[in-house]
């Protein structure tokens, strides 16, 4: 499986919802939904965990991804992910990254490896 990095720096291909979807693992999606419901304090269903990754345009998007403003901006600006954006990190992304330092590390590593960056 190729590594898929979402616009925000989350690694879709390492996400349990993505993995379970790609493996047609309904039990895996159910367990992921239970875990996320507990961790986030919201109701997440197994249906919310059907996902072909943030970069999928014709695939299935999990829960929030379809309405994510960071994803929408990445699509609008036609960047591979936010590391490739001239405005990196914008205020909206910065707010998200404060709670997800691993995503920042992914984007910073990509940005550092870009030619001309």
pLDDT tens sequence for the chain (117 residues):
689 999 999 999 999 999 999 999 999 999 999 999 999 899 999 999 999 998 888 778 887 888 899 999 999 999 999 999 999 999 999 999 999 999 999 999 999 876 443
pLDDT of 115? 44
Alpha helices in the chain (DSSP H): 16-22, 26-40, 69-77, 91-98, 101-113
**Whole-structure pTM value:** 0.85
Residue 51 contacts residue 10 (beta carbons within 8 Å): no
Structure tokens at 11: 């690694």
pLDDT of 63? 75
Handedness of CA 33, 7, 103, 69 (dihedral sign): negative
pLDDT of 117? 37
């Amino acid at each position: 499986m190729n590594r898929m990095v979402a616009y925000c720096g989350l690694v879709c291909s390492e996400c349990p919802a993505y993995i379970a979807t790609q493996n047609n693992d309904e039990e895996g999606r159910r367990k992921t939904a239970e875990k996320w419901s507990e961790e986030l304090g919201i109701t997440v269903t197994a249906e919310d965990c059907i996902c072909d990754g943030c970069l999928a345009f014709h695939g299935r998007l999990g829960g929030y991804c379809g309405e994510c403003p960071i994803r929408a901006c990445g699509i609008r600006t036609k960047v591979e992910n936010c590391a490739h954006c001239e405005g990196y990190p914008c205020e909206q992304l910065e707010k998200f990254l404060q709670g997800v330092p691993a995503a920042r590390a992914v984007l910073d590593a990509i940005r550092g490896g870009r030619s001309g960056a």
